[in-house]
Amino acid sequence: MDGEFVLDMDDVIQGIQKADVMSIFFPALRKSMVIDTRFNPNSGPMISLLPMVGSPEERLQSLGRLRPGFPQVNELTIVEWTRYVDSLLTLGVWDQIVDRFKERQQVEAVADCEKVLKKLRCLEREELVAVVLGTNHRTIWPLEEDSSL
């Protein structure tokens, strides 16, 4: 599950630092972590795990439904994360996400970050168990019965 795709970490970090709205999607988990740093007197920022969608346009539409009190998003930063969840921490990405909320003193969003990380770790564990057990996965090498037993 730890992908070997080249990922420019400077671009990822810069995106987190500057983007109002970002989606980091985890193909192996079929989930997207959607981060919306915008807030107003009625609604705070949001970090949430959502089902993956088929396109950036679909994500923008879903965001519009989730956060109707905010203007339409003009730019959406998207990152495909094919590595393990904990690599978000070891590569410094997670601290950047949390720091965005801390800088704005958004205590509830910081707490939501911890909930999302815990859920991501749980989903990853479940997926790894499913891979080992063959649940929801098919092998390309069929199990051969040993006739010598």
**56 lies in some domain:** yes
Mean pLDDT of the chain: 88
Give pLDDT tens digits for 37-61: 999 999 999 999 999 999 999 999 9
Q: How far apart are CA 40 and CA 18, in angstroms?
A: 18
Place of tokens 């203007």: 71
User: Degrees (nearest 5) of the Cα angle 102, 61, 84?
Assistant: 55
**114 lies in some domain:** yes
How many folded domains does the chain comprise? 1
Task: List the domain range (segments joined by +) for residue 116.
Answer: 9-133
**3 lies in some domain:** no
Joined together, the tokens standing for residue 97 give: 């996400």
What number is the average pLDDT over the span 53-81? 93
**94 lies in some domain:** yes
Q: Which residues contact 109 (CB under 8 A, 6 or more apart)?
A: 44, 45, 46, 47, 101
Place of tokens 């815990």: 118
